[in-house]
Amino acid sequence: MRRDLVKDVPAIDWPEEFELSTYRAELAPAVHSLMELGYREGGGRVPALDVWQQRFERDPEYDPTLCFIARDAEGIVGVAQCWTSSYIKNLVVHPRAQGRGLGRLLLLHAFRTFQQRREGFVDLKVLEDNRRAQSLYESAGMYVVRRELVPE
C-alpha cells in the first residue's frame, strides 16, 4: 500500500499515556518480543533475537531514527520500523494497547517524518487477508498499489 506525502498529514496529538522514542540497541530484546507477538497474531515469524538484531542493525536501509517506539507505563507497546527508502517494514501494536489509536499515531508519525525528509510517498506491504491492518492503513490515507507480474 502507499501514502502520497504531497497530501497533508493530520496533526498528531500523542496521548500522555504513551511516550515516543527511537530505537537503541538496548531496546532490542523488548522490540524483538513485541515483533514476535505481532507476527504470531498476524502470521509469519521473526528470527531469533541475535539473528533479527544483526539483520536489522546491519541492513543498508537501517537508520535508528526511523524506528519509532511507543511505551506506556508497562513497557514497549508499539513499533514502527521504517527503512530509509520511505518504506514501513513493520508496524506492531501490543494487544493491551490495541484499539486506542496507537497504530494510526505511529503511521502518521512515520508519514510526517518522511514528509520532512522530502519523500514523495511511503509504502508498505500487507497480507491480502489481513483486513484489520488494511482498514487501519486506509483510514490513514493509504491505498492499494498492485504490481503487474512480468513473465520471465
Query: What are the boundaries of each domain within the chain?
Result: 11-118
Fold topology of 11-118: Aminopeptidase (3.40.630)
The overall pTM is greater than 0.85: yes
Q: Which residues, at least 6 apart from 135, have a Cβ–Cβ distance to it below 8 Å?
A: none
Q: Which residues, at least 6 apart from 107, have a Cβ–Cβ distance to it below 8 Å?
A: 3, 80, 88, 91, 136, 137, 140, 142
Neighbours of 79 (CB within 10 A): 24
DSSP alpha helices (H): ranges in the chain?
28-42, 49-58, 102-116, 131-139
Tens digit of each residue's pLDDT (9 = 90 or more) over 91-114 = 999 999 999 999 999 999 999 999
Tens digit of each residue's pLDDT (9 = 90 or more) over 5-42 = 998 898 899 999 999 999 999 999 999 999 999 888 66
